[in-house]
Amino acid sequence: MTNRLQHGWDDESAVRILESIRKASNPGARLLVLEGVVPPGDTPHMMKMVDLTMLGMLPGRERTEPESRTLLERAGFTLDRVVPTSTVFSIVEASVSWEAPPQMLLAIARAEPHDRTVEEPIRRKRALITGASRGIGAAIAQALAARGDVVAVHYRTDPEAAVNLVAALPGEGHVALRADLTRPEEIPGLVEGAVSALGGVDILVNNAAVFTPHPIATTSYENWRSDWRRTFEANLFAAADLTWQVTRHLLDRDEGPAGARVMMVGSRGAFRGEPVSPAYGASKAALHSLTQSLAVTLAPYGIAVTAVAPGFTRTEMAARLLDDDEQGPAIRAQSPFDRVAEPHEIAAAVAWLTSAEAEWASGAVLDLNGASYLR
C-alpha cells in the first residue's frame, strides 16, 4: 500500500492523512516516511528491499527529528528509528543513483495494533451513481443500498422513475439528483448536491451513457459530427469531469481519501467495435483507458479505480431489440449461454469492485459478456 502526502500540507492535515493510512492498514504494518525531496527511482523496489508495506511522504518543509517523531506518534505510529537517507540507501543497495540531501530524514514506524475487541460503528459508504433511474444504474443502486450504502441516484429526464427508485431502496437517506451531464457547468453542482445530501461521497459510479445510431454510410456529415460530439460529451468527458470533482472532494475532506472507489461502466463494444454507433465504441474504449490511467494516478491516495465491460443486457432500452422475432434470437445466440445479461448480474460485479476487499483489482476492466466476446 502506497500513500503519498500531498506537497505543502501542514502538520494537522498530515496527521489526519497518516491516521487514515494507519486505519486502512493491517496491525503492525511498517511505514516509511521520507522528509524533504522525493528521490527518483523505483520506489516499490526500495520498499521491497527493506520489507515495508506502506510509504508516506511529508514534503512541504524541513522537519526536525523531534517534530517528525511527534507527528507520527499523534497519528498512532510507534517510531522505530530515524536515520539519514544516505544510510537507508546503503541498506537497499542503492537501487538509484542519487545523493540524498543531508537534511533529509527517513523514519521507520510501526502502526499501533488495533484493538479488535472494541466494537466500532460501521460507517455507511456514500455512493453517487449516474444514470441510475433505470437499467444497469438502477440495479447498481439497489445492490449498493442492499449492502448498507446510502445512494445518490442521478437522473436527467425521468424524475418519477428516480424518485420511485429512491423510495424503494432499502435503508434511509437516499436521494435523487438531476443534472444534464452533457453540460459541464452542471457537473460541479451534482457532486456538491451529493456531498451535501449524503454527508460526503466515498464511491463514484460513472454509469450514464448515450447510444445514438450513426452508420457512416447513411448519416449526413452534420449529424455524424453532432453524434460524435454528444456521445463523447456524455460517455467520456462527463465521467472525467465527475471523477475530477469527486477526487477533489476526497483529497480535501478531513477523513482523507483512503478507501474511496471509482467505477466506470464501459462496454464490450470497446473491444469488438460498434458498427452502427462507432462513437459509442470509441468512447467506451477511451473510458477503459481513463480507468487505467486514473488507477495508477490515484493509488498513492488509497483510491481504487476499476471498470466493467458488459455485453448485451436486458434493460428497458434493449427490450425492443430482444423482443424482435429476428434480432432477439440472434442477439441471445452471441453467448453460448443463449441469453443476455440481467442488470443485477452487472450490479453484483460493481458491488464487489467498489468494496473494501477489491482494492487490489484497481486498474482492471472486467468483461461481463457471457463468453460472447473473448480477448
Mean pLDDT of 224-234: 98
CB atoms within 10 A of CB 42: 12
Mean pLDDT of 70-97: 49
Ordered domains of the chain (ranges, CATH): 11-111 (no CATH), 126-368 (3.40.50.720)
Please write down the HEC assignment for all residues of the chain.
CECCCCCCCCHHHHHHHHHHHHHHCCCCCEEEEEECCCCCCCHHHHHHHCCCCEEEEECCCCCCHHHHHHHHHHCCEEEEEEEEHHHHHHHCCCCCCCCCCCCCEEEEEEECCCCCCCCCCCCCCEEEECCCCCHHHHHHHHHHHHCCCEEEEEECCCHHHHHHHHHHCCCCCCEEEECCCCCHHHHHHHHHHHHHHHCCCCEEEECCCCCCCCCCCCCCHHHHHHHHHHHHHHHHHHHHHHHHHHHHHHHHCCCCCCCCEEEEECCCHHHHCCCCCHHHHHHHHHHHHHHHHHHHHHHHHCCEEEEEEECCECCCCCHHHHHCCCHHHHHHCCCCCCCCECHHHHHHHHHHHCCHHHHHHCCCEEEECCCCCCC
pLDDT in tens, 310-321: 999 999 878 888
Confidence of residue 349 (pLDDT cuts 50, 70, 90): very high
pLDDT in tens, 265-315: 999 999 999 999 999 999 999 999 999 999 999 999 999 999 999 999 999
Percent of the chain with pLDDT over 90: 65
Residues whose CB is less than 8 angstroms from the CB of residue 107 and which lie 6 or more positions away in sequence, other chains included: 31, 32, 33, 35, 68, 69, 72, 79, 80, 81, 82
- Whether residue 140 has pLDDT greater than 70: yes
- For the ranges 23-27, 28-32, 90-94, 271-275, the lowest mean pLDDT is seen at 90-94
pLDDT in tens, 155-179: 999 999 999 999 999 999 999 999 9
On whether the CB atoms of residues 60 and 34 are closer than 8 A, the answer is no
Which of 3-12, 92-101, 287-296: highest mean pLDDT? 287-296
Confidence of residue 15 (pLDDT cuts 50, 70, 90): low
- Whether residue 236 has pLDDT greater than 70: yes
- Whether residue 243 has pLDDT greater than 70: yes
Beta bridge partners of 105: 84
Q: Which of 221, 280, 301, 373 is catalytic?
A: 280
Query: What pTM value is reported for the model?
Result: 0.70
Mean pLDDT of 22-44: 48
Selected residue with higher pLDDT from 228 and 68: 228
Q: How many CA within 13 A on the CB side of residue 175?
A: 19
Confidence of residue 6 (pLDDT cuts 50, 70, 90): very low
Selected residue with higher pLDDT from 334 and 124: 334
- Whether residue 246 has pLDDT greater than 80: yes
pLDDT in tens, 180-190: 999 999 999 99
Percent of the chain with pLDDT over 70: 68
Mean pLDDT of 235-244: 98
On whether the CB atoms of residues 204 and 242 are closer than 8 A, the answer is yes
pLDDT at residue 213, as a whole number = 95
pLDDT in tens, 356-371: 999 999 999 999 999 9
Confidence of residue 4 (pLDDT cuts 50, 70, 90): very low
Strands lying side by side in the sheet with 54-58: 54-58, 30-35, 105-111, 77-84
- For the ranges 25-39, 70-84, 119-133, 269-283, the lowest mean pLDDT is seen at 25-39
- Whether residue 234 has pLDDT greater than 90: yes
Give yes or no: 373 in active site: no
- Whether residue 56 has pLDDT greater than 90: no
- Whether residue 32 has pLDDT greater than 70: no
